[in-house]
Structure 1
Amino acid sequence: MMIDQAPILIIAVPLFAALLLTVAGPLGPRFAYGFLISALAASLLFSLISLGLVMADNQAVHYYLGDWPPPLGIELVIDHLSGLVLVLVSGCALLTAIYSLRTAQQDNPDRLHQYYALFCLLVTGLLGMTATGDVFNLYVLLEIAALSSYGLLARGRGPAYFATFKYLIVGTIGACFYLLGVGYLYIMTGSLNMADLAEILSRPELQESVSVRIGFTLIILGVWIKMALFPLHAWLPNAYSLAGTTTACLIAPLMTKVSVYIMLRVMFTIFSVDYVFDSIAWGQLVIYLASAAAVLGMIAALAQRDLRKMLTYIIVAEIGYMTGGAWVANAAGYTGAVYHILADGLMTLCLFMAVGAVIYRTGQTSMAAMQGIFTRMPITAVVLVIGAGSIIGIPPTCGFFSKYYLIQGAAQAGAWVFLAALLIASLVAAVMFFKMLEIAFFGDPKALEQEATHGHDGHGGHGGHDAQPAVARREAPLSMLIPMVITAASLILLGLYTKEVVIYFIGWSIPAGF
């Protein structure tokens, strides 16, 4: 019976954990931490069980909420693609929760249990968005995730509340666009179930409907705002770079990737390849935007001196990779986009964890914090090298193989601008990380001590009680090292098993018509 209920338990467990954590203050921070780990471990287990059910029969698992069949009732649909993203979200959330033992207490000394409640609520929203088969239910879960992220981001450093307020305004606009688009589709079809919508929208009279076209446009614009596609990205760098260490490690790898997943679902599950690329025919424009995002995002990252702001601009570039892959309109590009959701989720988590560990030990967020990292924190430095290598696209990391499929898709489609953007962005990333690693390997730790003494780091940090020995030859705590090492190893393992991932998971989700 537990196996049969696995799809709903993926979402229900973190949801009820969030409710219980709100009243868990008297039980102390250790209970809150242990309860968080247990809930997310259970959610990961049920995600793996659900993916196993999909793999066993090679067909989607449908779960009817309240035993009401669709289209009247809400259903959860877990197939090869959504099952893979569920494992990514729950796995990254669990690793971040383990990592948070020191950093979350440091950033939230007064209301840790409430912080963890928001943590669980955000994970609930992300998992629900991935599993739902209903477009309005997706909106509800999107807002649950958004409201939770606002609360988490606002507890960051310095003017984080102001950056979060801007994110709130822009995010609300994006959500309104999405909801208006859903309204247009409901008026024309009378249904909110994704599979039912797809069947109704395939009718010839609706293929030419202006209202349907407006609905598609509004939904896609709303999703693009949520995923920070260039030039709708301005809210992201400040909001993510000013967040607390744990918050950044949770939100940066997952929020934008799930939004890209939603874009793919809207394009190829609700609508179709023919409608998106023939009736709408935005492909060329979107490819130009994606190319600009990839190149300008990496160039902006290269110009940063703040480590986390540098990483946030890398996210902007990576969103360009995935968007371009989806819109080149062939199987190789789609494969690269989906594979890059997995790869970039792990790459971003790896880099944010490594940088977070450096900030934890040094109390600084500027590039000066990297001085002599190979001497002071060798394991963290190796993790950083693996994450950087994957972003650049060095084999055997997964970043190489995702770019291989994206470049192949761009070449097959004749999208030479996008192909050039991928190569230029990779070259800029190589320059950026080689510069960072040069400081990390050859830098003088005493220079960092002088930087800290004279207060040259204008951004401050989260140093806390462990930040004082800025040049101490000590690694990050074990609770931070374990998830960092697991994430770095996952980048290599995913790369080594690329063929299996593409054949057994991504291949089953390639839309008809590619």
Structure 2
Amino acid sequence: MEQLTILLIVIPLMVAPITALIPSEKITWLLTLIVCLISLAISSYILYAVIDGSHVIYELGGWRPPWGIEYKIDSLNAFVALIVSGIGCLACLFGYRSVPDEIEEKTIPLFYAAFQLCLLGLLGIALTGDIFNLFVFLEISSLATYALISMGKNRKALTAAFSYLILGTIGATFFLIGVGFLFAASGSLNTADIANRFSTFEDMQLVETALIFMVMGIALKAAIFPLHSWLPNAYSQAPSTVSVFLSATATKVSIYVLLRILYDLYPIQYWVDMLLPQIMLSLGCVAVIYGSYRAYQQTEMKRLLAFSSVAQIGYIVIGFSLVNQLGLTAAIIHLFNHALIKATLFIGAGILLYRANTTELGSLRGLGKDMPWTFAAITLAGLSLIGVPGTVGFVTKWYLLEAAVEKGMWIVVITIVLGSVLAIGYVWKIVENLYFRSKRKTHIQDVHSGDSGIAKAPKTMVTALWIGAALCIFFGLNTELSFQAASSAASALLKP
């Protein structure tokens, strides 16, 4: 079991350089899919082993912590690794036809190599128990992400990638400064070791400064309001396969890091005394309203979904800022639920882009009637985003409302309800334009409106879309796995 954890890092690390050297786009795609499937299988097996609250520990090179690097896997690590590898499989399946359409042929092997390195970085962040090693994996995933965003044929992607690079570098620098300060105070980089000895150095000013720097750096990486400005352009201008993968994983893994810092690295009472929960709760509530309103204003589907992510991240921030069992459970469940919803919706947007060469809602009028199966799956995912009963979105909002009522936070209850109402508005914009508005009789970016070819989306794309849509319903009705994993993780984080 212990050796399996390191395979999640070793396999993509070994396969990525090989992938970059293979000229065949189909072989590179197949290698990437195999890596993602193996990662999913290992993550699922590990989650099954630790969901009862047990741990799996792997010491790299046989060096015992705190001197050596330690991988310590509990239900939270394994749950996040499952999200990353599962979404990687969906994105890869979707990318079989999308990548050749949106990426220059000569750069496709490099694209898939960068995709594997991004997967490697995100899995490494989830598994490591060493905060400097975490920074290393954070940079691996970030550098791969910058490259992935910039590889699209759309020249605006370069501007989006450059903006993300600048802000991402600032975030990583802040985090590294915080790690440096904490190391100067504690003399250790191992999370468990620092937590165990925290009382011996907690009075040092460096410790509080380190927390501020680390939280600011990771909040920027997680696109927590108001540090979200890089996200709309990055998601909307990136190639569709990249949008699917990043929208569902990158910010979720950053929030996972924030949870580890606040609940594992530092004692809860330490940052509660700093009024951090009140600050984060306020920002989360504003993010829900602001992100939903800005999403409603958009006329382009991918950009609409990007602003929706700002709001959904707000729900997660609200959850862990309530600092109770139900709230933290809701936040962790939403890491999983939102990943499913947003991956499915971006796959839908990618299919529309593939067939019509645009995701401008005004140019997609009536297209849903020509693509009924694609439209149906997008609608199901949209209902999940709103939080309709029977979908994964409802599960999160129900637990969040319970947690807010338990704490007497009625402003949070009002915010969640208002956010859901606004979500109805921007999801309806998509549904209305795709189905209820009359078809355009003009050309849609060189494709005739109503052309029979529009209705024939590639099977791999439609399969990926319906897998996502089906999972949105399945985990909305059968919440046992997600709730058990999230509840186990929340209980472990809340233990002193």
TM-score by length of 1: 0.92
Aligned to 1:24: 22
Cα shift at 1:470: 4.3
Q: Does 1:498 align with 2:484?
A: no
Conserved 8 A contact 1:361-1:476: yes
Which of 243, 247, 251 matches 1:252? 247
Q: Which amino acid aligns with 1:440?
A: L
Match of 1:349 in 2: 343
Contact 1:370-1:436 at 8 Å conserved across structures? no
* Cα 1:58/1:335, change in 2 over 3 Å: closer
Aligned position for 1:468? 447
Could you tell me which of 148, 167, 171 is aligned with 1:170?
A: 167
1:424-435 aligned at under 5 Å gives the runs 424-435=418-429
1:184–1:4 Cα change, 3 Å: closer
Q: Deviations over 1:421-478 (max 9, x none)?
A: 2111110110111232122222223x1x4262xx6xxxxxxxxxxx735423423110
Question: Does the aligned pair in 2 maintain the 1:294–1:316 contact within 8 Å?
Answer: yes
What CA distance in whole angstroms lies between the structure 2 residues aligned with 1:165 and 1:441?
36
Q: Does 1:132 align with 2:128?
A: yes
- Flag the 1:504–1:348 CA change in 2: closer, same or farther, 3 A: closer
| 2:442–2:448 Cα contact (<8 Å) kept | no
Q: Is the 8 A contact 1:19 1:117 kept in 2?
A: yes
The correspondence for 1:509, drawn from 485, 490, 493, is 490
Q: Which amino acid aligns with 1:24?
A: I
CA distance 1:45–1:85, shift in 2 (3 Å) = same
- The answer for the alignment partner of 2:468 in structure 1 is 487
Match of 2:222 in 1: 227
Give the equivalent residue in structure 1 for 2:186: 189
Q: How far did residue 504 of structure 1 move? A: 4.8
Q: How does 1:198-347 map to 2 (within 5 A)?
A: 198-201=195-198, 203=199, 205-278=200-273, 280-347=274-341
3-state SS of the aligned residue for 2:197? Answer: helix
- Matches of 2:139 and 2:465 in 1, distance apart? 30
Please give the secondary structure, in 2, of the residue aligned with 1:81. Answer: helix
Tell me, in whole angstroms, the C-alpha distance in 2 between the residues paired with 1:431 and 1:289. 22
Letter of the 2:394 counterpart: F
Q: 2:106 aligns with which of 106, 110, 116?
A: 110
Partner residue, 1:464? none
* Change in CA separation of 1:505 and 1:225 when aligned onto 2, cut-off 3 Å: closer
- Post-superposition shift, 1:508? 4.3
Output the CA distance in 2 between the equivalents of 1:113 and 1:504. 36
The one-character-per-residue Cα deviations of 1:59-116 (angstroms, maximum 9, x if unpaired) are 1101111121111111112111111111110010011101101110111222111100
Q: CA deviation at 1:214?
A: 0.5
**In structure 1, the residue corresponding to 2:142 is in which secondary structure?**
helix
Runs of 4+ aligned residues of structure 1 deviating over 6 Å after TM superposition are none
Q: 1:63 & 1:513 partners in 2: Cα distance?
A: 22
Tell me if 1:10 matches 2:5: no
- Rounded to whole Å, the distance in 1 between the matches of 2:488 and 2:398 is 16
Matches of 2:121 and 2:448 in 1, distance apart?
Answer: 39
Distance 1:29 1:176, change over 3 A: same
Residue 57 of structure 2 is matched in structure 1 by 62
Conserved? CA contact 1:325–1:333, under 8 Å = yes
Give, in angstroms, the shift of residue 371 of structure 1: 2.0
Corresponding position of 2:92: 97
| Residue from 384, 392, 397 that aligns with 1:390 | 384
Match of 2:436 among 426, 433, 442: 442
Partner Cα distance (1:116, 1:69) in 2: 35
For residues 423 and 43 of structure 1, the distance between their equivalents in structure 2, rounded to whole angstroms, comes to: 37
Match of 2:30 in 1: 34
- Cα pair 1:6 1:49 within 8 Å, conserved: no
**Offset at residue 290 of structure 1 (A):** 0.8
User: How far apart, CA to CA, are the structure 2 residues paired with 1:33 and 1:355?
Assistant: 21
Tell me how far apart the structure 2 counterparts of residues 489 and 504 of structure 1 sit (CA, whole Å): 20
Partners of 1:254 and 1:9 lie apart in 2 by 20
1:23 positional shift? 0.9
Counterpart residue type for residue 496 of structure 1: L
Give the match for residue 461 of structure 1: none
- The CA deviation at 1:178 is 0.3
The code of the aligned residue for 1:501 comes to S
Which amino acid letter does the alignment assign opposite residue 104 of structure 1? V
Q: CA offsets, 1:361-387, max 9 Å, x none?
A: 111120024322332111111110111
**SS of aligned partner of 2:442:** helix
The unaligned stretches of length 5 or more in structure 1 are 456-466
The residue identity in structure 1 corresponding to 2:15 is A
In the alignment, residue 397 of structure 1 is paired with which amino acid? T
For residues 200 and 369 of structure 1, what CA distance do their matches in structure 2 show?
A: 60
Look up the equivalent residue of 1:225 and give its one-letter code.
L
Q: How many residues align?
A: 491
Match of 2:417 in 1: 423
Structure 2: gaps of 5 or more residues: none
1:115 and 1:237 map into 2 onto residues whose CA distance is 22
Q: Distance in 1 between matches of 2:394 and 2:367?
A: 25
Distance of 1:78 and 1:307 partners within structure 2: 38
State the AA in 2 paired with 1:230. F
- Superposed CA deviations along residues 30-82 of structure 1, whole A, max 9, x for unmatched, are 11111111111111111122223324x64110111112111111111211111
CA distance in structure 1 between the aligned counterparts of 2:267 and 2:392, rounded to whole angstroms: 29
Q: 2:57 aligns to what SS in structure 1?
A: strand
- The answer for the alignment partner of 1:145 in structure 2 is 141
Cα shift at 1:505: 4.5
- Say yes or no: does 1:50 pair with 2:46: yes
Contact 1:80 1:509 in 2 (8 A): no
Letter in 1 for 2:442: Q
Residues 113-169 of structure 1: per-residue CA shift (max 9 Å, x gap): 110000000000000000111000000000000000000111231322112111111
Q: Structure 1's 50 and 199: CA in aligned 2 closer, same or farther, altered over 3 A?
A: same
